[in-house]
Structure 1
């Protein structure tokens, strides 16, 4: 195989291997609860805007490397409207070709070989790839139940001293935990006046069930050391569009933009127009999305509680973090659910060592399938009673 030593050290992406792959399951109809994107359609107004923008002659040519002024202004207006955060559209905004691209590229932009990067455990699987590609050192930021929040005093001073970047993500994928503003206040205070920077992955920003999810940039002084990465994929049902952006600390933003000048030649103008329309016109839709998943959360958790099946409380996002029966780890339970109940879920171990005895369940399925899946899982109560 022809592959560089650097790339060879990066594990295969779990979801790249499994997404779209055919699976063999038991006799019941398959219910796929492993998918990581909301199941609704993109709003018609956004689709219509995109269709019109396709016919615009200026969108059929190269556009400015760092994005249309209209798109950047929509981002600025959105953050002011939603979070009361002021942004400079030239210095504090970077358009991303899907947020994953930015999250994986970031270590190569600001981290030197050998420096530490703290990664949430449990946390999104592909952060680690970006760290390894930068020849940096991934270190676990262990998040413990039931709240899955950072405990900075539990990290060794030698680790912190050599840490250049910290990844945070709330609502958390995979645990469904959320952060209050005080969590971000503590993180900013922890790394103020150090060389350590923070990136907050805000992919599931729309989905907050007990309170609106705060932005890290609402914390005083956050822009001195932090950026936030926002995705249009989940809140607007636009995952296929691959559009997001990073906002915040101008030095990190400029590093990302420099990187992009060598890897991209400007986002397709019609995509930018569609994203602009979404940001400017669909605030109410974000609230509707959250309400849909809160209702699904309530239904699913009630079914689990009735059967006394243990799980971590889901406060935001689209995933529920389910404990495995005591006789199985996550991978064994995934196989058991698939063969015995025809339910496909994701094992916890790709999300970090502390996910070994969990599975991630997506609620991005219609109500009928959701209730059917919950009732099938209820029949497994006996597995949790085994010692």
Structure 2
């Protein structure tokens, strides 16, 4: 079967390759801690609106390419209410068919071949595909535990910065669970606001901030001159199957994304937009509850690991814990060991960048009983770390 040279040079998506595959494991019941699919149900008010909206005649036909006015207004109102950020619903909002689509499409819209794009290492796996599809040059943005997985801009060579047209950031960070402060975003915007470099902040885990609320990059003065933020409904609202998100911010990047979408999509299903409008307008309390659920899970799971002296990165936000591997194992070897010996499936760190080589990513998107059992099984491995 034919495949283009460009596509053949792009690595397979790690989760596209592994999700749904049959897993061979040891004798214990399998605990799948590899994938960050929220385990709770979508709030009833959202589901009810979706059921009702499907039956509306207007939603059974083509709609406006760039979305319903009510949905765009809900996005504007949500950002004003939660972050005190003012948005123009026509020029600074782009509806996305899942945030992954927008994050992968963006380089095709805003960079040229051979431009540099800085990618967080470790960071979400599929940013790389978008850069390679645009024939741009990915460059590793080194993130380390010592600096709480925040980049140090002065450590990036000037000649690289001069060639960089786009930077990906993601906080709370997937996979490390680290977070960013408003001061970090202020400093970052000040560093790049008068340059040719634009920024995209992946805010997929915005709802999950355990010590304090996660800031939006758009709260920083001048941010809309150089940055967009990509927001997902998948995690906070338990709506991963709906595939709805949006990008907000810099109007030139928003316009580019919208132009691209006019050639690849013919508008989002109206019933999805109606359900998402209800989510943004009526479910603020649910976001608070969701955060509390995962904060409690974080507290209990980390306490179990500390009890056994297992090394991990403190989880400040998001839904993933970043666990260091035992001395004789890299991430991929430890994944196989956990499957065979403890019937636990986790994600190796290496797909998130070579700085993840000696880590595995553990999802807390499981029931309390499954997390408790998983923690108990991990405690049995304390001898491997000695």
Offset from partner CA, 1:199-238 (integer Å, 9 cap, x none): 0000000000000000000000000000000000000000
Name 1:18's counterpart in structure 2.
18
Deviation, structure 1 residue 340: 0.1
Deviation, structure 1 residue 36: 1.3
Distance 2:72 2:140 in 1: 34
Distance 2:37 2:316 in 1: 17
Q: Give yes or no for the alignment of 1:56 onto 2:56.
A: yes
Distance 2:318 2:37 in 1: 10
Q: Secondary structure at the match of 1:320?
A: strand
Distance 2:127 2:15 in 1: 13
Name 2:350's counterpart in structure 1.
349
Q: Secondary structure at the match of 2:145?
A: coil
Distance 2:121 2:82 in 1: 29
Distance 1:365 1:259 in 2: 37
4+ residue stretches of structure 1 with deviation over 6 A?
none
Give TM-score, length-normalised by structure 2: 0.99
Name 1:376's counterpart in structure 2.
377
5+ unaligned residues in a row in structure 1: which ranges? none
Name 1:149's counterpart in structure 2.
150
Name 1:85's counterpart in structure 2.
85
Distance 1:90 1:117 in 2: 27
Q: Give yes or no for the alignment of 1:3 onto 2:3.
A: yes
Offset from partner CA, 1:102-150 (integer Å, 9 cap, x none): 0000000000000000000000000000000000000001100041001
Distance 1:43 1:97 in 2: 20
Q: Secondary structure at the match of 1:311?
A: coil
Distance 1:261 1:41 in 2: 32
Q: Secondary structure at the match of 2:51?
A: helix
Name 2:322's counterpart in structure 1.
321
Name 1:139's counterpart in structure 2.
139
Name 1:96's counterpart in structure 2.
96
Q: Secondary structure at the match of 2:149?
A: coil
Distance 1:127 1:105 in 2: 9
Offset from partner CA, 1:32-54 (integer Å, 9 cap, x none): 00011211010111000000000
Deviation, structure 1 residue 278: 0.3
Name 2:280's counterpart in structure 1.
279
Pairs aligned (count): 385
Deviation, structure 1 residue 190: 1.2
Distance 1:140 1:291 in 2: 34
Name 2:69's counterpart in structure 1.
69
Q: Secondary structure at the match of 2:205?
A: coil
Offset from partner CA, 1:355-383 (integer Å, 9 cap, x none): 00000000000001101100100010000
Distance 2:157 2:301 in 1: 39
1:173-184 correspondence runs (5 A): 173-184=174-185
Deviation, structure 1 residue 338: 0.5
Q: Secondary structure at the match of 1:87?
A: coil
Offset from partner CA, 1:55-100 (integer Å, 9 cap, x none): 0000000000000000000000000000000000000000000000
Distance 1:195 1:164 in 2: 6
Deviation, structure 1 residue 188: 0.6
Name 2:212's counterpart in structure 1.
211
Give TM-score, length-normalised by structure 1: 0.99
Instruction: State the Cα RMSD in Å.
Output: 0.5
Name 1:249's counterpart in structure 2.
250
Distance 2:190 2:338 in 1: 44
Distance 1:22 1:286 in 2: 33
Name 2:308's counterpart in structure 1.
307
Name 1:122's counterpart in structure 2.
122
Q: Secondary structure at the match of 1:312?
A: coil
5+ unaligned residues in a row in structure 2: which ranges? none
Offset from partner CA, 1:143-178 (integer Å, 9 cap, x none): 000410011011111111000000000000000000
Deviation, structure 1 residue 291: 0.4
Name 2:263's counterpart in structure 1.
262
Name 2:113's counterpart in structure 1.
113
Distance 1:24 1:264 in 2: 39
